[in-house]
Amino acid sequence: MSDVLVLGDEALALGAVDAGLSVAYGYPGTPSTEIIEYLQKYSSENDPDLIARWCSNEKTSYEGAVGVSYAGKRALVTMKHVGLNVAADAFINSALLDINGGLVVAVCDDPGMHSSQNEQDSRFYADFAGIMCFEPRNHQEVYDMTRDAFEISERFKIPVMLKLVTRLSHSRSSITRRNTNQKPDKGKAEDRLRWMALPSLSRKNWSDLLDQQQYFKEYSEGSVYNKLSINNDFTEYGVITTGLGGNYYLENAGDLELKPSHLHIGVYPVPVDLIKKLTDRVRQVIVIEEGYPFVERMMKGILSTSIPVHGKLDRSVPPAGELNPENVRSAIGLEPKAVKGDVPDLPARPPQLCKGCPHTDTFTALNHAVADFTESIVTSDIGCYALGALPPLSAIETLLCMGASVGMARGASEAGRKNVVATIGDSTFLHSGITALVDAASTNTDMTLIIMDNSTTAMTGMQDTIVSSPRIRDIVLACGVEPEHLVEIKALHKHDAENTAIIKKEIEYHGLSVIIALRECIHIVGKK
């Protein structure tokens, strides 16, 4: 046993290592990135047999992890919450397989959207797939639950989800490590009929998964992470908390005159019997949960008596953004704590592209090029270059999800709009822009794709792009783009007039063209 000071993400990585992890795959995405980064460092310093790799996207990461499980070893796959949308096909279907080596999917949600386009709650995905989900509320629980998740995965033969949130992933605290397991090797899965998602086989596997739900529920009802404390002397209301909502509640509960009965939920499926034990003793209940009103909604179908349920749905708890000690304090009817001194109004500091960023020079040339047309559309994507939306560049018009710039440009062009341009980074192009480019090439759609190749995944901390720049050119050609309309430019201010002319010429071409704007992110110059 040893104590270490770690980020929440690092606690998860260490929990996996100590559980006997063999392979981890992931795609970088804040706030989950540090899990794989820590494992890579751990592997290089302590355990060369441990494999931890970045993949092209979350789906390929997930599929790789399922392959490790089939081969009989323990696998971890990491992503941010919106990444699970990308991996969803493999994720949902994998619940019907006969998981062999333990398979844990670590998903980091981002309530408050610190660096994401939505604040979707991954617990719904776990419920949708019919698997178990652990939701830790502190670093020790992250470590302990990670170890337990591998055990549960192998016991019930299902993938198991670990759901973190930004405040936990990126805060630091000490944890106590326990002994490190040997890496289990169960050998290749024996029953291949449980590993093929053919309809005739899936019908049985789905039926089996439904039958298993009662065992998942039994585990959840008895779990040490689902804690119920009853106060029979106070029946006015009870409190149910999940995730960090439990910490914020306990931080304020000492100021309540009488302590309500309290259930904290850390493992799903929802412990229905524990909820009933609480609600049978109180006249109303307040649900404080980080994320969507997941438990709160389910309670409508759980309660035998119709007691009022307060929470996000009736806005007793803020329905959007993060919970914090102050808004939870207000939800349980306490006056705000007095703040010592005035908090000055600080000027806003909106994010912006770094000084000297190659994207600035590409966007500047693009702005000059489209200025010569009476109409144009510029779609964009997820990455540093999304900041091209802000003044003074104001260069882009849309941003949806990873890879969408290419498909949206194709759609806008086929809808009859002229001078349509898509802008995408190298990493995002490899993540999910390629398939949309194949679509555009198949119809030689009248659009121009600009791949802004800075040779790194900059926004999440300079992870290596999965393939090097020269090979991106090969990939574009292999998608079916005509060689004479694949052009490279150097993203430098001194080349602005030349780059503007090239972009304009390719926009004027009535067919598909691709421009690769090359220059390394300034933060990796000299590091390679």
Return residues touching ligand SF4 (CB under 6 A): 353-354, 357, 359, 384, 454, 458, 521-523
Q: Which is nearer to ligand SF4, 298 or 353 (CB)?
A: 353
Output 146 or 405, the one with its CB closest to ligand SF4: 405
Nearest CA to 269 out of 160, 137, 401 is that of 160
**Shortest distance, CB of residue 462 to ligand SF4, whole angstroms?**
8
CB of 354 to ligand SF4, least distance (A): 3
Does residue 1 contact residue 178 with C-beta atoms inside 8 Å? Answer: yes
What residue type is 405 in one-letter code?
S
Provide the minimum distance between the beta carbon of 42 and ligand SF4 in the complex, in angstroms, as a whole number. 26
Contacts of residue 200, defined as CB under 8 A and 6 or more positions apart, other chains included, come to none
Q: For residue 458, give Cα distances in angstroms to 289, 453, 487.
A: 33, 11, 23
Nearer to ligand SF4, 159 or 425 (CB): 425
- The CB-of-469 to ligand SF4 minimum distance in angstroms stands at 14
**Residue 250 forms beta bridges with which residues?**
none
Q: How is residue 267 annotated by DSSP?
A: E
The smaller minimum CB distance to ligand SF4, of residues 111 and 425, is found at: 425
As measured in angstroms, the least distance from the Cβ of 358 to ligand SF4 is 6
Smallest distance from ligand SF4 to CB 387, Å: 7
Amino acid at 412: A
Q: How far is the CB of 217 from ligand SF4 (least distance, A)?
A: 46
User: Which residue, 129 or 489, has its beta carbon nearer to ligand SF4?
Assistant: 489
Distance CA 142, CA 139 (A): 5
Of the pair 219, 363, the CB lying nearest ligand SF4 is at 363
Which pair of structure tokens corresponds to residue 511? 């067919």
To the nearest whole angstrom, how small is the minimum distance from the Cβ of residue 459 to ligand SF4? 6
What is the rounded distance in angstroms from the CA atom of residue 60 to the CA atom of residue 37? 18
- Where would I find the H helices in 116-198? 123-129, 139-156, 166-169
Half-sphere exposure at residue 446, Cβ-oriented, CA atoms within 13 angstroms = 15
Cα–Cα distance for residue pair 96/93, rounded to 1 Å? 6
- HSE at residue 309, side-chain half, CA atoms within 13 A, is 26
Between the two ends of the chain, the Cα-to-Cα distance in Å is 39
Instruction: Closer to ligand SF4 by CB, 279 or 362: give it.
Output: 362
Instruction: Closer to ligand SF4 by CB, 340 or 527: give it.
Output: 527
Strands (E), 432-491: 447-453, 456-457, 463-464, 486-490
